[in-house]
Amino acid sequence: MHSLKRAVAVLLHRMGVMAFAQRGKVKGALLVAGTSSDAGKSVIVAGLCRLLARNGVRVAPFKAQNMSNNSAVTVEGGEIGRAQAVQARAAGLEPSIRFNPILLKPGSDGTSQLVIRGQVSDSVTAADYMTHRHQLAKVVADELSNLRAEFEAVICEGAGSPAEINLRATDLANMGLARAAHLPVILVGDIDRGGLLAHLFGTVAVLDAQDQALVAGFIVNKFRGDPALLKPGLRQLAELTGRPTYGVLPYTEELWLDAEDSVSVLAHRVLGAPQPPRGHQWLRVGALRLPRISNSTDVEALACEPGVLVRWVSDQGDLTDVDVIVVPGSKATVADLGWLRERGLARAVVAHAESGGVVLGICGGFQMLCRSIDDPVETRSGRVDGLGLLDADIVFESRKVLRRWTAPLAGYEIHHGRVARCAAAEWFGVNGSPQGYRHAGVFGTHWHGLFDNDVFRRQWLAEAANTAGRDGFVVADDTDVAARRDSQLGLLADLLATHVDIDAVIDVLETGPPPRPLIVAKLHY
- Same domain, yes or no: 232 and 367: no
- Same domain, yes or no: 327 and 210: no
pLDDT band at 23 (very low <50, low <70, confident <90, very high): low
- Residue 1 has a pLDDT of 41
User: Is 363 an annotated catalytic residue?
Assistant: yes
Helix (H) or strand (E) holding 66: strand 65-67
Neighbours of 460 (CB within 10 A): 22
- Same domain, yes or no: 495 and 469: no
- The Cα-based distances of 79 to 70, 98, 277, 283 in angstroms read 10, 10, 36, 33
- Same domain, yes or no: 325 and 244: no
Q: Please indicate, yes or no, if residue 83 is contained in any of the structural domains.
A: yes
- Residue 273 has a pLDDT of 87
**From CA 484, how far away is CA 214, in angstroms rounded?**
36
- Same domain, yes or no: 309 and 170: no
CATH number of the domain residue 444 falls in: 3.40.50.880
- In this predicted structure, the answer to whether residue 471 has a pLDDT above a threshold of 80 is yes
- The Cα-based distances of 467 to 129, 309, 359, 471 in angstroms read 49, 17, 11, 9
Q: Please indicate, yes or no, if residue 15 is contained in any of the structural domains.
A: no
- Residue 254 has a pLDDT of 84
Instruction: Summarize pLDDT for 249-278 with one digit per residue, the tens.
Output: 999 888 887 766 444 445 458 998 899 999
- Residue 321 has a pLDDT of 93
Q: Please indicate, yes or no, if residue 329 is contained in any of the structural domains.
A: yes
Instruction: Summarize pLDDT for 189-209 with one digit per residue, the tens.
Output: 999 888 999 999 999 999 999
- Rounded to an integer, what is the distance from CA 477 to the centroid of its chain? 27
Q: Please indicate, yes or no, if residue 331 is contained in any of the structural domains.
A: yes
One of 49, 363, 415, 439 is an active-site residue; which one?
363
Q: Please indicate, yes or no, if residue 422 is contained in any of the structural domains.
A: yes
Q: Please indicate, yes or no, if residue 21 is contained in any of the structural domains.
A: no
Q: What total number of domains does the chain contain?
A: 2
- Same domain, yes or no: 251 and 287: no
Q: What is the DSSP letter of 332?
A: S
In 151-262, which ranges are continuous DSSP H helix?
A: 175-181, 196-206, 209-212, 227-241
- In this structure, the strands spanning 79-81 and 71-73 are antiparallel
- Residue 258 has a pLDDT of 76
Q: Give 31's strand partners.
A: 156, 185
Helix axes 2-23, 502-511, angle to 10 degrees: 30
- Residue 262 has a pLDDT of 46
CATH number of the domain residue 175 falls in: 3.40.50.300
**From CA 411, how far away is CA 450, in angstroms rounded?**
5
Q: Please indicate, yes or no, if residue 132 is contained in any of the structural domains.
A: yes
**From CA 334, how far away is CA 354, in angstroms rounded?**
22
- Same domain, yes or no: 42 and 102: yes
Instruction: Summarize pLDDT for 286-330 with one digit per residue, the tens.
Output: 999 999 999 989 999 999 999 999 999 999 999 999 999 999 999
Domain range holding 144? 27-256+484-505
- Same domain, yes or no: 325 and 459: yes
- Same domain, yes or no: 98 and 230: yes
**From CA 305, how far away is CA 283, in angstroms rounded?**
10
User: Is 156 an annotated catalytic residue?
Assistant: no
- Residue 19 has a pLDDT of 53
Q: Please indicate, yes or no, if residue 338 is contained in any of the structural domains.
A: yes
- Same domain, yes or no: 57 and 156: yes
- Same domain, yes or no: 469 and 498: no
pLDDT band at 134 (very low <50, low <70, confident <90, very high): confident
- Residue 385 has a pLDDT of 98
Instruction: Summarize pLDDT for 364-401 with one digit per residue, the tens.
Output: 999 999 999 999 998 889 999 999 999 999 999 999 99
- Same domain, yes or no: 495 and 416: no
Higher local confidence (pLDDT), 500 or 3: 500
